Amino acid sequence: MSNTSFTPDIEAIRSIDAVPVILSMVKHLTGMRFAAVARVTEKNWVTCAVDDAIDFGLKPGGELVLESTICHEIRQHKKPVIFGHASSHPLFSLHHTPRIYGLESYISIPIIKANGEFFGTLCAIDSVPANLDEPAIAQTLTLFAQLIAMSLDAHSHLQATKAELSSATELGRLREQFIAVLGHDLRTPLSAIRMSADLLETKTEDKRSLNLISAIRNSSTRMGVLIENVLDFARGRLGRGIPVRRKQVDDLESTIRLTVEEVLNAHPHSEIIQTLDVPPGVYCDPLRVSQLLSNLLINAVTHGSKSTPILLEAYSENDEIVLSLTNQGPVIPPQLMPLLFEPFSRSQAGQRGEGLGLGLYIAAQIATAHNGTLSVSSTVESGTNFVARFPTHFR
């Protein structure tokens, strides 16, 4: 049966892009064929996300009788429960849950939010025994559960912040404080996920496993970019501005080429045609210029046509460095142009895609910090063209 009263919890889990990969990795690490994220309350056990290869029959919103589950007990003691062979286990051979559902192997990790609230469990089950004695299994699943808890906290804070934003006087303070805390606190579980992926990669040569590990690493890289963007946003909006460290740079063209290469590595199906003629001795912050260009390229890859190449030009003109980026795709209506460089304006501008809509805002702020500008034009004939300009020398 389906319990619609838990729709907000199901939607919160669905909003976490990493959950499907996590469930797949749980199955791979444990050798078990069913993995799920469950919401567990005083009265209910409800599925929020599931990866089922044994046709157990649960879908998101599906519910089990709470007292028939071990998660009912986990909610009380908030500790993991793990066994690989129920029928020979001194305790769980007599437990009602394995008998009711025909389970031999079981692992369940509590998902506990920052305020101590018990949300539910990250669990896996199977009707056949599994070897769950390796400590790395429990440790890795615990890291996954922590990541889910952190993401739920972020979702809760974001929902609460949106409600508070109805008051114009509170909009800036609440949003900016939330983003500063979010960006800082997300770094710890993200580092744990990256280290887990590195550890798993050293222990397997299986192609499917390596693909899953690569997916985790790519997702963590995107999360890292998002975190840095929100931190830059917080710095800019809290009064200090986005910091730049300008110096004389003789190899800015090399920095531009490396930035393009990094974007292509993350988006191998994209094509970027480069025309570069950047002189030495440019007074800039090369890391920030790379970030500006990367944000523009990612925007073009995400929102531009997949069948035509992106055109990148970089050159010097009238004592200014010009970065020009053109992509084909839907024309941006004139009335939406002013929104493009505003934070959190993607939905207002009719754009869809990953992220919070900070990329173009950050790019514009970096251009401003270099005493420059970032502009955009969009026509059917010429496509969408972003142009960043900043002085070649100190000004």
Taking residues 193-212, what's their average pLDDT? 83
pLDDT over 80 at 188, yes or no? no
- The amino acid sitting at 217 is R
Domain ranges of the chain: 1-150, 165-241, 247-391
pLDDT digits (tens, 9 = 90+) for 71-109: 999 999 999 999 999 999 999 999 999 999 999 999 999
Q: What is the pLDDT of residue 182?
A: 63
CATH of 1-150, one of 3.30.450.40, 3.90.1150.10, 1.10.3720.10, 3.40.50.10300: 3.30.450.40
Q: How far apart are CA 289 and CA 161, in angstroms?
A: 32
The gap from C-alpha 309 to its chain's centroid, in whole angstroms, comes to: 26
Q: How far apart are CA 138 and CA 151, in angstroms?
A: 20
Q: 1-150 and 165-241 share one CATH topology?
A: no
Q: What is the pLDDT of residue 159?
A: 79
- Lowest-confidence pick of 181-185, 305-309, 318-322: 181-185
pLDDT band at 180 (very low <50, low <70, confident <90, very high): low
The gap from C-alpha 276 to its chain's centroid, in whole angstroms, comes to: 32
CATH of 165-241, one of 1.20.58, 1.10.10, 3.40.50, 1.10.287: 1.10.287
- Lowest-confidence pick of 89-103, 187-201, 256-270, 371-385: 187-201
Q: What is the pLDDT of residue 156?
A: 86
Structure tokens at 276: 């570069």
Q: How far apart are CA 389 and CA 316, in angstroms?
A: 9
pLDDT digits (tens, 9 = 90+) for 117-165: 999 999 999 999 999 999 889 999 999 999 999 999 988 888 777 666 6
CATH class in words for 247-391: alpha beta
More confident residue, 382 or 211: 382
